[in-house]
Structure 1
Amino acid sequence: MATILETRGLSKRFGGLIATDNISFRLEDGARHALIGPNGAGKTTFINLLTGILAPTAGEILLDGNAITGMSAERRVRAGLVRTFQINQLFPAMTPLETLGLAVSERMGGGRDWWRATGSKTEIVREMIEVAERFRLIDVLEEPTSKLPYGKQRLLEMAVAFACRPRVLLLDEPAAGVPEAERHELLATLADLPGDVSVLLIEHDMDLVFSFADRISVLVNGALFREGSVAEISGDPNVRAVYLGDAIDG
């Protein structure tokens, strides 16, 4: 399959600390790929490098074969590389309707006049409703975000990212903090993501990783430790020793 996102020798040092060590990684077009590793493995640093929040010390990043290493975070989003965060980056006083209106209108060039543009362009309204339906937000569209159940807030953040029309979607622990009663809706939404969006999932919940991913990369001490199919990673005794332990059996 074609490679949509690639890193070559990607490294990041903070003084004498090596946070990311010579990572060469490929995400295939349409993939469902999980990135796992113990706390402090360098997962967040790696994602921050991919999205332009941090500049690498060495190496390069390519999106669809084009170098984006020096590109700003905003330009990467516009090029189709979009992420969510471990902690929601939402406006608590806004409703999902307003939040999605802002995201869709901004992508279409509405800018500061986003609310007027939302009301005057049927294509914006149509897309807002389609995204809300896909992410199971129709029933809470006019509720303040601060009053939404946490699972719905996580769905809203993913919906905002999806409204940017990503080619690559980086999901940073989407299930973190979501109560068990709300997890089914979130997992079903992830399973329904369209195949033309390539997904890199960063997650500690191994049940979610094993049910969602078709390929897994293991990061340890800032370096790529193992990579393979779900069966290969789940059965690898070295992976068990450094990270999974008994979690893989339960």
Structure 2
Amino acid sequence: MTIALETRGLEKSFGGLRVTRDLSLKVEQGARHALIGPNGAGKTTVINLLTGVLKPNAGRILLEGNDITDLAVHKRVLRGLSRTFQINQLYADLTPLETVGLAVSERLGRGGDWWRRMGTRDDVNQEIAETLGRFHLLDVMNERTATLPYGKQRLLEIAVAIATKPRVLLLDEPAAGVPESERHDILAAVAALPRDVTVLLIEHDMDLVFSFADRISVLVNGAMLVEGPPDEVARDPQVKAVYLGEAVHA
């Protein structure tokens, strides 16, 4: 078993409030791993710790066996760790073509020269087109992001994350706020993510969680409650009591 991402005894407090409590989590290489829990469980705090947005009070974070606890956000991206956000962080005035083009050029170390690179490098242009096509964005690639349906914006954010060529991808509620009519494309995009990318998913939509994950960790009050395969988690009486409810079945 190769571990792609690991936390050891992770702790985070805000004043006297302990948000993450002695959290030890292992995400296997190539896994589809979901982190779930009720509102206020500390899930997004964990993502912010993993990505370097927040610094832990105690504990360590390892990416592919290397300690990244003190690395800056951009250095973690360069190491192969990328994420999406609950609320998208896209540039409203750029088009999907420009946004993905910028992400690809930044990865290649030519972010300030991205227009020229897009125009002169066939391999870069092909990668941009393939990424837009994979996420059903070719038909809107020249429209301003601010004008896109929200489902398309969520797809674009996943596309940008994939354009950084991550080995580990953190998806923070990719279907949040997406109308029911647009959710199919989100679910399909998540399901079709390349298998060489390890995925840690945070999501409230249990249909998405149980259709996607091969392992689930349940977080309650910042601590691990239960962890295991989806069918075992769905049957666990503690999980039913605190989160899933009796109506959920594997």
| TM-score (normalizing by structure 2) | 0.98
The answer as to 2:168 corresponding to 1:153 is no
> Percent of aligned positions with the same letter in both sequences?
66
Q: Offset at 1:111?
A: 2.1
User: Matched residue of 2:131: which SS?
Assistant: helix
- What residue in structure 2 maps to residue 14 of structure 1? 14
Residues 247 and 144 (structure 1), Cα distance of their counterparts in 2 relative to 1, 3 Å cut: farther
The answer as to 2:108 corresponding to 1:94 is no
CA distance in 1, matches of 2:23, 2:249: 29
CA-to-partner distance for each residue in 1:6-47, whole Å, 9 max, x for gaps?
010011112211110000100000000000001110101111
- What residue in structure 1 maps to residue 197 of structure 2? 197
| Aligned 8 A contact 1:101 1:118 in 2 | yes
CA distance in 1, matches of 2:59, 2:96: 39
CA distance in 1, matches of 2:111, 2:201: 30
**1:107-126 counterparts in 2 under 5 A?**
107-126=107-126
**1:21-32 counterparts in 2 under 5 A?**
21-32=21-32
Kindly provide the amino acid, as one letter, of the partner of residue 154 in structure 2: R
- What residue in structure 2 maps to residue 231 of structure 1? 231
Kindly provide the amino acid, as one letter, of the partner of residue 166 in structure 2: P
Kindly provide the amino acid, as one letter, of the partner of residue 235 in structure 1: R
| Aligned 8 A contact 1:13 1:57 in 2 | yes
Could you list the structure 1 runs, at least 4 aligned residues long, displaced by more than 2 angstroms after superposition.
none
User: Which runs of 5 or more structure 2 residues have no equivalent in the other structure?
Assistant: none
CA distance in 2, matches of 1:185, 1:41: 28
User: Matched residue of 1:115: which SS?
Assistant: helix
Which has the higher mean CA deviation after the structures are superposed, 210-219 or 183-192?
183-192
Q: Offset at 1:72?
A: 0.4
| TM-score (normalizing by structure 1) | 0.98
The answer as to 2:98 corresponding to 1:104 is no
> How many pairs align?
250
Q: Offset at 1:247?
A: 4.9
User: Which runs of 5 or more structure 1 residues have no equivalent in the other structure?
Assistant: none
CA-to-partner distance for each residue in 1:97-148, whole Å, 9 max, x for gaps?
0001100011111121221222122221111011111111111111111111
CA distance in 1, matches of 2:54, 2:29: 24
Note the aligned Cα RMSD (angstroms). 1.1
- What residue in structure 1 maps to residue 210 of structure 2? 210
| Aligned 8 A contact 1:9 1:58 in 2 | yes
